[in-house]
Structure 1
Amino acid sequence: MTTEALSIGFVMLHTSPLDVPGTKDAGGMNVVVRAQAEALARAGHRVRIFTRRSDTETPSRVELMPGLSVVLLDAGPPRLLAKGEHEHVMDEFSRLLHDAIAADTVELLHAEHWFSGIAALPVARERGIPLVQSYHSIAAPPESPIGEGERPESPGRLAGEARLAAETDLIIAVSDAERATVLERLQGDADRVRVVPLGVDTALFHPCDTAECDEQRDWLRGGGRPEVILVGRLHPLKGFDLAIEAIARLPHAQRPTLRIVGAPPPDGDAYARELHEAVVAHGMLGTTAFEGALRRRELAERIRSASLMLVPSHSETFGLVALEAAASGVPVIARDAGGLREAVVAGTTGVLLADDEPAVWAAAIRDLLSDEPGLKRMGEAARAHAVERSWQASADRLVEVYREVIARPAGAQRQRETSVVSNE
């Protein structure tokens, strides 16, 4: 196989790799794209990430490291948009992306989320280059239970995701669970779906081994409260309300402290307010901290200082924070759903719960926190599980997929429509 360097263009229309995860609409997707892009650049590939400018201060091009730059396109107003508003700027973004690619050619486009894919599709066809699509989340019909996935936040999403499944050259899923969703919900072609496992930064996310951690262990042995952590955007899909209700079911003397790391998306203030109100209603104000979004280094410090992470998400294509907790030697209690079944090894690195009753979650939290030897064994097993995964291995697998699709004969490409999905 050739080792020639590739020229790759990632497309991220609605969120920027420069944003702090947990703010705006930045989340696990931002972490994944940036980590993979950095690993690709370290391996000698030339990578550009094309995103929308949401302010007037950031320059039009930001060099993150040798071989990796972020290109900001002036599509739509230079301000933060609610997620659903991005459908209105897809056409303009597509035109600007076409011009950017004409001036700075790439061999392949890799679109992240459906907004990006629909904007990139006509560009890829006009330039005669392959388009690879990652969804990161796939919408469920509005009437579906929340456990089926996100709601379509804009009118064209359901049709747009199905169209991309039919027309892109290759689809990349982050888990077997996401692959199954592509095949079942979007009627994707199994021959055009590849699973690329995610990695984790095991140098940044590592078990607590400082003097501060020794003090914390002494504090716990002296009767201090253990800490439970929640990480993610304050959005109903993440199920943080269930975690609060579960901890509230525990007797006051047995309640752990709760640390919530993350901020609401641009249109998510109502849910954030509900979480704050629930904490007050349950008398947990003195044992709960809302930290907002944190930069990666601070987040890693918070995770490894916790005794336990909860991931009560109704739906996850993978659940990267669960793997980051594992790398930190912190066991996880997660919902038995989607890709969380792959991020957490049930009974070994954490616990998976199929029930959404707060009392069931409360019992699992109580049982695990009261078993210090078991908690320690699970944390050690979690770290061992995480060190087997790296972002470089993830990027290497991406390159295999890229080379596969680039090598396909041009005549093998099916004729496809190139109009952008409209919300008119």
Structure 2
Amino acid sequence: MSSSSSPLRIGFVMLHTSPLDVPGTKDAGGMNVVVRAQAEALARAGHEVRIFTRRSDPAPPDQVELRPGLTVVHLAAGPARLLAKGEHESVMERFGELLEVELQREPVDLLHAEHWFSGIAALPAARRAGVPLVQSYHSIAAPVDSPLTDGERPESPGRLAGERRLAHEADLVIAVSEAERRTVLERLGGDEDRVRVVPLGVDTELFHPCATRDCMEDRDWLSSGGRPEAIVVGRLHPLKGFDLAIDAVAAIDAERRPALRIVGAPPPDGDDYVRALHDAVARHGMLRTTAFDGALRRSDLAERIRRAAVMLVPSHSETFGLVALEAAASGVPVIARAAGGLREAVLDGETGMLIGSGSGTGAEDADDPTVWAAAIDRLLGDAELRERMGAAARDHALARSWDASAARLAGVYREALGR
């Protein structure tokens, strides 16, 4: 067993998505950002980290070194192509077998599974290797007949049972927010003594307030009557509420209506929703003032965010809402649904506004585009309020770092080893 100061050998398990994928493409999203950032911080701290992921493309080598101490390992479970999310349940068993072979060849001190696919695949391998399994969910499924605010739909038959099993059989469960912790306890029947909250960090060097000449020109343009920009970021999936963002902006009087920038790409089975979004933009007469950027590299995303006047996060459900914290680091106020961890990512009335049980709105207002429109109009019409919230948001983000998040994570790992 490792001492309290010796480096750890850590295996992250990411079956259905790769840390090499660009967030906003395929099934890559906040989970990819979190895992890669924490893994890099752990490697910087001297730990040896491997991320095991399914090969979805024949081109990359079996192992890719991202930095000293951090390697991505591709396991050939299933066809070497992109799978719809629900198809991954069929490759879990094979992935677990290949993972076990890797652990025999090069042991780890513990495994950290990301999402339920990974946890169920890794559980037998961890038990046979005699190492602890730590589980993160990132999102927790809700029954198919429940509202979207309860969370994602179970995209494959075993998800509801699999998540509950992991809540009882993983050595420790890690939540990213108090909201997710409550969901693990109440919906999955988790043991309070075995659930730990590890706060997320944010890269405050990459995501920073606008200070370039371009930004000064933006401010001059706005002060002379130019159209400000609202931005919404994420996978183009109904859970993220992009349709509500479009309807909300459309509900603002055309003379004051901001431009809308939509950043992200659909998951493999999301084409119908994307068509509906484009149709909504056309129906509202917003073709000239709406941009669909697709998925962006992190540096380009950071540039887009800091040049926006406001970020909208209308997600029906979020375990935390990392993109809201990235906007905060950029000095951009956020208008978000008062759902899940967004209540922790956005300080209502200080760093932004929460719609639905926040900022003077009730739960019945959360899906009303006119309520969102009023909040957007108010914020964009009050430069002093916007600047005050932006400054408070930056301060809020500066209190978080990925190194601190990784240090807390390493503490949880040592606790699991001590059990």
Residues 6-405 of structure 1: matches in 2 within 5 Å?
A: 6-354=8-356, 355=365, 356-405=367-416
Shift of 1:251: 1.1
Letter in 2 for 1:396: A
Please give the alpha-carbon distance, in whole angstroms, between the structure 1 residues aligned to 2:372 and 2:354.
Answer: 10
Aligned with 2:134: secondary structure? strand
| Equivalent position amino acid for 2:368 in 1 | E
Counterpart CA distance in 2 for 1:152 and 1:336 is 23
Q: C-alpha distance in 2, partners of 1:73/1:9?
A: 13
Q: How far apart in 2 are the matches of 1:335 and 1:87?
A: 31
Q: Distance in 2 between matches of 1:378 and 1:407?
A: 43
SS at match of 1:352: strand
Alignment deviations for residues 109-147 of structure 1 (CA, whole Å, 9 cap, x no partner): 000000000000000000100000000000001110111
Where 1:133 maps in the other structure, the secondary structure is strand
Q: Deviations over 1:226-280 (max 9, x none)?
A: 0000000000000010010011111111110000000000000100110000000
C-alpha distance in structure 1 between counterparts of 2:252 and 2:135, whole Å: 44
* Structure 1 CA distance for aligned equivalents of residues 274 and 318 of structure 2: 20
- Percent identity over the alignment is 74
* SS of residue in 2 equivalent to 1:253: coil
TM-score scaled to structure 2, two decimals?
Answer: 0.97
What does residue 416 of structure 1 align with? none
- Secondary structure of residue in 1 paired with 2:18: coil
Tell me, what secondary structure is at the counterpart of 2:185?
Answer: helix
Q: Quick one: which amino acid aligns to residue 157 of structure 2?
A: P
What letter corresponds to residue 214 of structure 1 in structure 2? Answer: M
Tell me the SS of whatever aligns to 1:254. coil
What is the identity, as a one-letter code, of the residue corresponding to 1:299?
A: L
Aligned to 1:411: none
State the shift of 1:33 in Å.
Answer: 0.1
SS in 2 for 1:101: helix
Equivalent AA in structure 1 for residue 268 of structure 2: P
**Post-superposition offset of 1:2:** 2.2
**3-state SS, counterpart of residue 271 of structure 1:** helix
Which amino acid in the other structure matches residue 24 of structure 2?
G
Q: 1:420: which partner in 2? A: none
Q: TM-score, normalised by structure 1?
A: 0.96
**Amino acid corresponding to residue 133 of structure 1 in structure 2:** Q
The CA distance in 2 between the partners of 1:151 and 1:2, in whole Å, is 40
Deviation at 1:407, TM superposition (A): 1.3
Q: Quick one: distance in 2 between partners of 1:396 and 1:135?
A: 20
Distance in 2, matches of 1:250 and 1:2, equals 57
2:304 and 2:253 mapped to 1: Cα distance?
25
- Quick one: distance in 2 between partners of 1:259 and 1:162? 38
Alpha-carbon displacement from aligned partner over 1:180-217 (angstroms, at most 9, x marks no partner): 00000000000000000000000000000011110000
CA RMSD across the alignment: 0.5
Q: Which amino acid in 2 is paired with 1:12?
A: M
Query: Which residues of structure 2 form unaligned runs of 5+?
Result: 357-364
Amino acid at match of 1:373: E
Runs of 4+ in 1 over 6 A off after TM superposition: none
Quote the offset at 1:3 in angstroms.
1.2
Partner amino acid, structure 2, of 1:70: V
Any gaps of 5 or more consecutive residues in structure 1? 409-424
Aligned-partner residue type, residue 387 of structure 2:
K
